[in-house]
């Protein structure tokens, strides 16, 4: 099951500075959307608002066409899973890192074990099941974080620069695997990145933020050009 997410009249200000000013933004059901922009564009703030982690100054957020407010925010948050740039793992084993959030949400022990085993297998970390998180490499830790998120069976997956701290071979391998998973599952996904070369592995849809505003949205090739996979020197906000 996938969900759609939208926000209208979104404004966020901090210390007199405009962080976000977006009339309308939609993450359609089953869509994988990359959000790009220069540092300070508001990418992470947008993700955190859509994940119900921070509240905007104004804005109406709808999940599956239901307006989300104080009365249903926790229930809405539980339909999401988030992967951050830092893995943020508990000081326990890899398998427990995947199972504990499931148990907190009321998933049975048997089901939690089954889901953790499935996703450790799919992400190639079964051999690390009993290894403690603090001993993991960066790539192993992020694979564990992604396995934990996917084991939650979220309606929407959100990722905030999840590959930024990884070396190139590790990043490319994980991008290929995750791209295959997202295409097979049809999971609604919001993916924040500063690296254009990551986008084609996961999606062909991109939204561009600049100074807190949504300036472009569409297919990767239409916005970034044919050199999207390797572009380094040009960005779609250069011409503004």
Q: Can you give the pLDDT at residue 2?
A: 66
> From its phi and psi, is residue 186 left (phi > 0), alpha (psi between -120 and 50) or beta?
left
Q: Does position 225 have pLDDT exceeding 70, yes or no?
A: no
Same-domain status, 15 and 48: yes
Distance CA 171, CA 152 (A): 23
Same-domain status, 149 and 198: no
Q: Does position 19 have pLDDT exceeding 50, yes or no?
A: yes
What phi and psi values does residue 212 have, to the nearest 5 degrees? 80, 5
Same-domain status, 52 and 39: yes
Same-domain status, 120 and 172: no
Half-sphere exposure of 128 (CA within 13 A, CB side): 27
Same-domain status, 110 and 197: no
Q: Does position 232 have pLDDT exceeding 80, yes or no?
A: no
Quick one: what percent of the chain has pLDDT higher than 70? 92
Same-domain status, 134 and 182: no
Where b means 16+ CB within 10 Å and e means fewer, 189-216 reads bbbbbeebbbbbbbbebbbbbbbbebeb
Distance CA 85, CA 162 (A): 4
Q: Can you give the pLDDT at residue 165?
A: 82
Same-domain status, 228 and 122: no
Point out the domain boundary residue: 123, 153, 183.
153
> pLDDT tens-digit profile of 98-145?
999 999 999 999 999 999 999 999 999 999 999 999 999 999 999 999
Q: Does position 218 have pLDDT exceeding 50, yes or no?
A: yes
Same-domain status, 130 and 159: no
Point out the domain boundary residue: 153, 180, 204.
153
Average model confidence (pLDDT) across the chain: 90
Q: What CATH number is attached to the domain comprising 230? A: 3.40.50.300
Point out the domain boundary residue: 99, 134, 153.
153
Q: Does position 219 have pLDDT exceeding 80, yes or no?
A: yes
- pTM confidence score: 0.89
Same-domain status, 94 and 44: no
- Provide the domain limits for residue 147: 88-153
Q: Can you give the pLDDT at residue 226?
A: 54
Q: What is the full DSSP assignment across 37-89?
A: -STTSSHHHHHHHHTTSS--SEEEEEETTEEP-TTTHHHHHTTEEEE-SS---
Poorest-pLDDT segment among 7-16, 58-67, 104-113, 192-201: 192-201
Same-domain status, 167 and 213: yes
Tokens found for residue 58: 């104004």
For range 40-50, the mean pLDDT: 94
Same-domain status, 42 and 2: yes
**How many domains are there within the chain?**
2
Cβ–Cβ < 8 Å for 199, 228: yes
Same-domain status, 113 and 215: no
> pLDDT tens-digit profile of 136-180?
999 999 999 999 999 999 999 999 999 888 888 888 999 999 999
């Amino acid at each position: 099951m996938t969900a759609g997410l939208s926000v209208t009249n979104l404004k966020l200000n901090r210390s007199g500075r405009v962080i976000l000013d977006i009339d309308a933004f939609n993450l359609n059901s089953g869509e994988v959307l990359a959000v790009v922009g220069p540092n300070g564009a508001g990418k992470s703030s947008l993700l955190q608002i859509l994940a119900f982690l921070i509240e905007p100054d104004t804005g109406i957020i709808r999940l599956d066409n239901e307006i989300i407010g104080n009365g249903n925010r926790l229930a809405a948050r539980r339909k999401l899973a988030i992967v951050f740039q830092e893995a943020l793992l508990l000081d326990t084993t890899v398998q427990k890192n995947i199972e504990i959030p499931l148990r907190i949400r009321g998933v049975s022990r048997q089901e939690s074990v089954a889901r953790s085993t499935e996703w450790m297998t799919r992400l190639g970390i079964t051999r690390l099941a009993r290894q403690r998180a603090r001993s993991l490499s960066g790539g192993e830790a992020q694979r564990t974080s992604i396995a934990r998120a996917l084991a939650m069976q979220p309606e929407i997956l959100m990722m905030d620069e999840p590959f930024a701290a990884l070396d190139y071979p590790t990043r490319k391998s994980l991008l290929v695997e995750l791209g295959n998973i997202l295409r097979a599952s049809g999971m609604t996904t919001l993916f924040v990145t500063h690296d254009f070369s990551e986008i084609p592995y996961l999606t062909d849809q991109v939204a561009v933020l600049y100074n807190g505003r949504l300036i472009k949205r569409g297919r990767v090739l239409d916005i970034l050009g044919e050199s999207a996979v390797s572009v380094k020197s040009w960005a779609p906000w250069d011409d503004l």
